[in-house]
């Protein structure tokens, strides 16, 4: 359940940073760190000897999901504010 929350936090972080006026690439890059940081924190706070070999794979998959969620969040915010900036015809 926590991993889904971490992906949601990556989406919301990218959306909020882009909505606050940060460049699209920087908002996406900042959100890419959320899920791998969650995986590392969970592994160090709740160590389990059987999962130690899966850590590189978990970091890779988490980074991919975090990057995808952050990219979608940043692009969504970018498109929302782009529509508001266009004048009505």
2-19 and 55-85 helices cross at what angle (nearest 10)?
A: 30
Q: Determine the pLDDT at residue 46.
A: 75
Number of domains in the chain: 1
Give the phi and the psi of residue 39 in degrees, each rounded to 5.
Answer: -60, -45
Q: Determine the pLDDT at residue 51.
A: 63
Rounding to the nearest 10 degrees, give the CA dihedral for residues 36, 37, 38, 43. 90
pLDDT in tens, 33-47: 888 888 888 877 777
Q: Determine the pLDDT at residue 77.
A: 86
In whole angstroms, give the CA distance from residue 31 to residue 65.
11
27 band by pLDDT with thresholds 50, 70 and 90: confident
Residue 69 lies in domain: 2-85
Angle at 85 between CA 79 and CA 89, to 5 degrees: 110
Checking if the pLDDT of 76 tops 80, the result is: yes
């Amino acid at each position: 359940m926590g991993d889904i929350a971490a992906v949601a936090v990556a989406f919301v972080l990218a959306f909020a940073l882009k909505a606050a006026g940060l460049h699209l690439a920087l908002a996406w890059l900042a959100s890419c760190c959320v899920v791998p940081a969650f995986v590392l924190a969970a592994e160090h706070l709740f160590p389990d000897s059987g999962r130690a070999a899966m850590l590189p794979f978990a970091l890779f998959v988490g980074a991919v999901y975090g990057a995808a969620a952050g990219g979608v969040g940043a692009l969504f915010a970018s498109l929302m504010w782009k529509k508001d900036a266009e004048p009505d015809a």
